[in-house]
Amino acid sequence: DIQMTQSPSSLSASVGDRVTITCRASQSISSYLNWYQQKPGKAPKLLIYAASSLQSGVPSRFSGSGSGTDFTLTISSLQPEDFATYYCQQSYSTFFTFGPGTKVDIK
């Protein structure tokens, strides 16, 4: 199975900060990488698919990059509603796997 790791596991940031989250796959997954946002008590929400494509309706301050094994999710200017946990997911293999998550909280 393909293993996914994320770093950091948590971070504290202020409104307006630029935030970068890293995701790494245990083998090359081309661009088969998705990012989700989850707020407490809510279902995950798709932000980015195919490594860098922004899901419809998602603010443009979110962006994704990378291919192969290393990927990043960037929030260009953190907003109050962005405090949440972010998960990467590989869809290269049908045995889909998620990263362990990165919790973004208020500094």
Binding residues for another protein, per CB under 8 A? 1, 31-32, 34, 36, 38, 42-46, 49-50, 53, 55, 87, 89, 91, 94-101
The CB-of-86 to another protein minimum distance in angstroms stands at 11
Q: Dihedral of CA 85/91/94/99: which sign?
A: negative
CB of 68 to another protein, least distance (A): 15
C-beta of 14: minimal distance to another protein in Å?
A: 25
Of the two residues 17 and 92, which places its CB atom closer to another protein in the complex?
92
DSSP 68-86: TTEEEEEESS--GGG-SEE
Residues 47, 58: contact at Cβ < 8 Å? yes
